[in-house]
A and B are shown apart, each in its own frame.
Chain A
């Protein structure tokens, strides 16, 4: 078995690689990261250098004062813990449910499946403001207000339709024949799914997991209405307390943004290997 994809890469000339790979990549990165770099630079500028008519690209006297006052002001560890619980809970819960539903829709033909999928989608077409009050009432009657579970449930239900659709798309792109050939070998539908489709879909599932995780990591409106105490408030709510009615402290805000993005990036680095791993082809041909 040759290494997956593009075995011919070795033959590419250096020039090709520059034009086909490094140059576009650098342009993409410039566009994507420019505001981020500006955020990081701002977070280490002293307050007097942040807004100036003649823009200073680099701080003259770099400082960590914003980070210090950030950690003094916000109980970051608690927010992290809460966000981590809520986001991973929502991600795992909705991934399990969506995988199962998407598999059903992708691999079986039965009446009403298209209808259900469409119904799922309408949910994402509704503005959240209008759903807040009834949802609030539901969570209150279940005694779930101000708990992780309220957010996990809210995020999961909101993410499941998207994930179902996404996973259905991915499953559809994996040829049925692979499973069928497995089933000829005596596997049941379920076994064929677990042994053949699931490994092939690992990158897709990793991507979906990241999607839900990031959505939950950044969601604000549900978070601010369904939680009150420090014990269950998530990072975006904590960060938002830094933006006052009459004060916008760029230093604190940018420092907070940098700090709160790091965990999600680190997590992604771990998940990444599932997205590129050559798990796939070996299992297919085996």
Chain B
């Protein structure tokens, strides 16, 4: 028995002590009065490309008193990391996010620093287009909590070669869109007209066909959701019927997520796709420049709405170096840096007259169409239940409507309740 105890006891103690000594040693904060260390959390879509790292290096060279330490966060774990560490008060100083619902969630959690005083003293603030600021606060009289840098408005990709073959023009209206989708489905072998995204992330796509019928408003004056209005329900029915009635989407639409719709377009399964500039390069690589056509989102009753896809930088309330953090945030969102970022990392900077700063945004056809689309690109309203609507209620109920478990009216009622916060 004794021997046994000793083995267990010594083994345990040894393991504990050795690991503490080995791994917990170097945790003391570096004491340095000169250089302020700013930690930055951000996910990158192409971590293998050097551009973003170059940008950070440039900042650090230009600002000898500040050292930005960039920690690449995987997209798949970013939300869990941010919420957990922000609530616990041990997050990075600066955090980047590209999902509108995260902004309202973090702000409601009370973990972000209000930036009004900083922004008021920052000359560069005027160079950011006005509408971009809408996603940075709960209402116009509420504090600013984030600085917008880029937008990814959706537009329509279409197979230019097929359109030419079928004698079709890029669809300007939803009627022309349906017509084109039908023709492709009927006449191109093995292909479908439209790559519908029925899984999470497809919310904006549906709203592009629904919101224009209600003047791009989410709520009536009395605060009730416009999703209950007959014209919104009819528009939603039209969208659901692309799958149910007309069969112009692949039969897999209810579970198709981001990779399926992109791969579907690139492999010749679908003829039209609603997406933003980040996938342009892949389409051209797969299909050739000539086969990739682009056009603004089709209009519904003469109106257009696309999801703005705004990207923001925020500063943690518990940051020890808020001034230095804002120095970085204001630097990277200034026209020159934002334009570099937008061009190489891929998005449309939200600065005034971006094409004068960087001609690429006027010359490149994808960037041009995206920049033009910013005219009708909107942030979703600031509501507490945005995440719930976007990530949970929409996919579940939209899919149920697609596979016929509930009616379109029931689906829209569910959406209305979620956005109203009931």
Q: Which residues of A contact B72 (CB under 8 A)?
A: 241
Q: Which residues of A contact B15 (CB under 8 A)?
A: 89, 92-93, 96
In the complex, residue of chain A having the shortest beta-carbon distance to the beta carbon of B47: A241
Q: Are A248 and B258 in contact (CB under 8 A)?
A: yes
Q: Which of A8-16, A142-150, A157-165, A266-274 contacts B (4 or more CB under 8 A)?
A: A142-150
Partner of B84, one of A72, A133, A143: A133
Of all A-B residue pairs in the complex, the 4 with the closest CB atoms, nearest first, are A190-B4, A224-B77, A244-B45, A240-B74
Q: Mark A106-143, 1 if CB is under 8 A from B, else 0.
A: 00000000000000000000000100110011001001
Partner of A244, one of B39, B46, B276: B46
Partner of B27, one of A48, A92, A147, A220: A147
Q: Which residues of A contact B7 (CB under 8 A)?
A: 194
Bound-state CA distance A228–B72 (Å) is 9
- Please report which residues of chain B, range 250-289, place their CB below 8 angstroms from some CB of chain A when the two chains form the complex: 258-259, 262-263, 266-269, 276, 278-279, 282, 285-286
In the complex, residue of chain A having the shortest beta-carbon distance to the beta carbon of B39: A228
Bound-state CA distance A22–B90 (Å) is 56
CB of A245, distance to nearest CB on chain B (Å): 5
Bound-state CA distance A52–B5 (Å) is 62
In the complex, B81 has a CB within 8 A of chain A: yes
Q: Which residues of A contact B269 (CB under 8 A)?
A: 53
Q: Are A225 and B85 in contact (CB under 8 A)?
A: yes
Bound-state CA distance A211–B322 (Å) is 45
5 pairs from A and B in contact (CB 8 Å cutoff) = A73-B47, A224-B74, A240-B76, A246-B45, A246-B152
Q: Are A148 and B45 in contact (CB under 8 A)?
A: no
Give the B interface residue count (CB, 8 A): 55
In the complex, residue of chain A having the shortest beta-carbon distance to the beta carbon of B286: A48
Q: Are A133 and B268 in contact (CB under 8 A)?
A: no
- A191-B90 contact in complex given A149-B23, A152-B19, A248-B258, C-beta closer than 8 Å: no
In the complex, A173 has a CB within 8 A of chain B: no
Q: Which residues of B contact A51 (CB under 8 A)?
A: 263, 266-267
Partner of A191, one of B3, B20, B263: B3
Q: Mark B1-21, 1 if CB is under 8 A from A, else 0.
A: 111110110011001000110
Residues of chain B having any CB pair with chain A under 8 Å? 1-5, 7-8, 11-12, 15, 19-20, 22-24, 27, 39, 43-48, 71-77, 80-81, 84-85, 87-88, 90, 92, 98, 152, 190, 258-259, 262-263, 266-269, 276, 278-279, 282, 285-286
In the complex, A229 has a CB within 8 A of chain B: yes
Bound-state CA distance A242–B45 (Å) is 8
In the complex, residue of chain B having the shortest beta-carbon distance to the beta carbon of A72: B48
In the complex, A4 has a CB within 8 A of chain B: no
Q: Which residues of B contact A261 (CB under 8 A)?
A: none
Q: Are B48 and A73 in contact (CB under 8 A)?
A: yes
- A190-B88 contact in complex given A51-B266, A73-B47, A242-B47, C-beta closer than 8 Å: no
Q: Which residues of B contact A191 (CB under 8 A)?
A: 1, 3-4
In the complex, A252 has a CB within 8 A of chain B: yes
Bound-state CA distance A136–B85 (Å) is 7
In the complex, residue of chain A having the shortest beta-carbon distance to the beta carbon of B16: A93
Partner of A247, one of B80, B88, B278: B278
Other contacts beyond A51-B263, A53-B190: 13, CB < 8 A = A48-B285, A53-B267, A73-B47, A73-B48, A96-B8, A137-B88, A148-B19, A149-B23, A194-B3, A241-B47, A244-B47, A246-B152, A246-B279
In the complex, A47 has a CB within 8 A of chain B: yes
Q: Which residues of B contact A246 (CB under 8 A)?
A: 45, 152, 258, 276, 278-279
CB of A282, distance to nearest CB on chain B (Å): 22
Q: Which residues of A contact B87 (CB under 8 A)?
A: 133
In the complex, residue of chain A having the shortest beta-carbon distance to the beta carbon of B28: A143
- Please report which residues of chain A, range 177-203, place their CB below 8 angstroms from some CB of chain B when the two chains form the complex: 188-191, 193-194
- A97-B263 contact in complex given A147-B27, A194-B4, A246-B279, C-beta closer than 8 Å: no
In the complex, A100 has a CB within 8 A of chain B: yes
In the complex, residue of chain A having the shortest beta-carbon distance to the beta carbon of B90: A140
CB of B265, distance to nearest CB on chain A (Å): 10
Q: Are A221 and B80 in contact (CB under 8 A)?
A: yes
Q: Are A243 and B76 in contact (CB under 8 A)?
A: yes
Q: Which residues of A contact B22 (CB under 8 A)?
A: 148
- A190-B24 contact in complex given A96-B11, A136-B85, A248-B258, C-beta closer than 8 Å: no
Q: Which residues of A contact B152 (CB under 8 A)?
A: 246
Partner of A143, one of B12, B27, B285: B27
In the complex, A237 has a CB within 8 A of chain B: yes
- A132-B84 contact in complex given A53-B267, A194-B3, C-beta closer than 8 Å: yes
CB of A39, distance to nearest CB on chain B (Å): 16
Bound-state CA distance A152–B20 (Å) is 11
Q: Are B266 and A147 in contact (CB under 8 A)?
A: no
Bound-state CA distance A192–B87 (Å) is 51
Most buried by A among B23, B45, B98: B23
Q: Are A190 and B2 in contact (CB under 8 A)?
A: yes
Q: Which residues of B contact A193 (CB under 8 A)?
A: 4
Partner of B1, one of A92, A143, A188, A244: A188
CB of A69, distance to nearest CB on chain B (Å): 6
Bound-state CA distance A100–B71 (Å) is 40
Q: Which residues of A contact B39 (CB under 8 A)?
A: 228
Q: Are A144 and B80 in contact (CB under 8 A)?
A: no
Q: Are A188 and B47 in contact (CB under 8 A)?
A: no
Q: Which residues of A contact B43 (CB under 8 A)?
A: 241, 244-245
CB of B116, distance to nearest CB on chain A (Å): 29
CB of A63, distance to nearest CB on chain B (Å): 15
